[in-house]
Amino acid sequence: MLYLDNCATSKPLESVVQAMVRAMEEDFGNPSSIHSFGFSLEQEIKKIRAFILDYLGGQGQVYFTSGATEANNTVIHSFALDHPQGRIITSPLEHASLMEPIKDLENKGFTVNRVKILPNGQVDYEDLERLVGEGADLVALTHVNSELGSILDLDRVRQALKGKQVHLHIDGVQALGKIPIDLKGVNSYVFSGHKFHGPKGIGGLYLAPGVSLHPLILGGGQEAHFRSGTENVPGIYGLYAAFQNLEDHFDENYAKVKKLKAHLLEGLKSTFPDILFHGDLETTSPYILSLSIPGTRAEVLVHMLEEEEIYISTASACSSHKKEGKNPIHQAIGLSKEESMATLRICLDQSLEEEDLDYFISRLKEKVDDLRMIIGGR
């Protein structure tokens, strides 16, 4: 099998699997129990939390959640409670887990402004400054776009918000572990274990010093009353192993994936002279490539490739559940309907080799030729 859909999810590392097995076979206690078995787990989780916080810059707090969807929802829910007339700035590029709770508030009468997106997939920072000048309480944006790979320029965002009392919330799911991060000026940041070779069902919410939010889930008071529910100990252990791997291998992974993407781009360009790449290739994440091959249908290609056990995608796994058909990200960057229908997403990771990508391109070429013949012959 050739897995090129690492933005949807990534394969857990062996160290992650082992850590989770240990949590289930040995450390299966409840961290809230008052006996020493529970207490030792509470201490272990405290140590893991401190490690993750340190990775994120060392200041503030980290809470464990069931993933980024819950963490994004928590921030928006808390914002709504504190700002009944609140004004939100977001973008049309957001993942559904941020876009949907914001839309829900918009339907309830909150003011939501969406910043313009440039054809290269970048936020129009002048438009952001203009919108902030008109008034905002929350700016909610994504660090690395999950479909185009465009990287938010956090310096430009900080500049736009300078001197303003605005909560800056960033969805870091496709950024953490993939690009260097600096959380200066960010009030809240979310991440998800399964996107960087950790387990599914575990993620976190980072809050900067002085930021306090309302919980979304009430109950037994775990996570300092911020997120009730018995801790997902296997998930937390697995997440820790994934973070440890980042601590040890981030630079080498980044360099390898950057080279792989350059190799992929070169191979695709020479195989498909009319190919279109979306987003600014100089500045997008090395882990993500969005492209369209004219005269094809991406969804059909995905299924043709799956017959060879090659897995890629058309769009974000969450947006692909939608029925409306129109992809808001493609619309935002001005793709035509034809271009949008032909858009494929390839997401790399460090376990791949150049030969894997050569093999992928050769199979893709066969499928594209077959498909063009079918479509042309209709």
Which residues form the interface with ligand PLP (CB under 6 A)? 67-69, 95, 97, 142, 146, 171, 173-174, 192, 203, 316-318
Q: How far apart are CA 195 and CA 95, in angstroms?
A: 14
- 97/232 with CB nearer ligand PLP: 97
> Smallest gap, in angstroms, from Cβ of residue 290 to ligand PLP?
13
The active-site residue, picked from 2, 118, 246, 318, is 318
> Smallest gap, in angstroms, from Cβ of residue 82 to ligand PLP?
23
- 6/296 with CB nearer ligand PLP: 6
- The DSSP string of 222-261 is TTTTTS-S---HHHHHHHHHHHHHHHHHHHHHHHHHHHHH
Q: Which two tokens stand for residue 214?
A: 């309302």
> Smallest gap, in angstroms, from Cβ of residue 373 to ligand PLP?
34
- 202/207 with CB nearer ligand PLP: 202
How many CB atoms within 10 Å of residue 282? 6
> Smallest gap, in angstroms, from Cβ of residue 31 to ligand PLP?
22
- The DSSP string of 96-156 is HHHHHHHHHHHHTT-EEEE--B-TTS-B-HHHHHHHHHH--SEEEEESB-TTT-PBP-HHH
Neighbour-count burial for 26-55, b at 16+ CB within 10 Å, e otherwise: ebebebeeeeeeeeebbebbeebbeebbeb
> Smallest gap, in angstroms, from Cβ of residue 375 to ligand PLP?
30
Judge contact between 57 and 191, C-beta under 8 A: no
- 187/192 with CB nearer ligand PLP: 192
> Smallest gap, in angstroms, from Cβ of residue 361 to ligand PLP?
25
> Smallest gap, in angstroms, from Cβ of residue 175 to ligand PLP?
8
| Interacting residues of 117 by C-beta distance below 8 A, sequence separation 6+ | 91, 92, 93, 123, 124, 332, 333
Q: How far apart are CA 322 and CA 326, in angstroms?
A: 9
Residue closest to ligand PLP, measured at CB: 67
Residue 347 a catalytic site member: no
> Smallest gap, in angstroms, from Cβ of residue 8 to ligand PLP?
6
- 260/288 with CB nearer ligand PLP: 288
Maximum alpha-carbon separation in the chain:
73
- 74/187 with CB nearer ligand PLP: 74
Q: How far apart are CA 75 and CA 214, in angstroms?
A: 8
Helix (H, G, I), strand (E, B) or coil at 290: strand
- 150/296 with CB nearer ligand PLP: 150
- 139/368 with CB nearer ligand PLP: 139
Which one-letter DSSP state was computed for residue 118? -
Judge contact between 304 and 369, C-beta under 8 A: no
CA-based radius of gyration for the chain: 21
| Interacting residues of 21 by C-beta distance below 8 A, sequence separation 6+ | none
Specify the pairing of strand 111-114 against strand 87-90: parallel
Q: Which two tokens stand for residue 291?
A: 């492209």
Q: Show which residues are catalytic.
A: 318
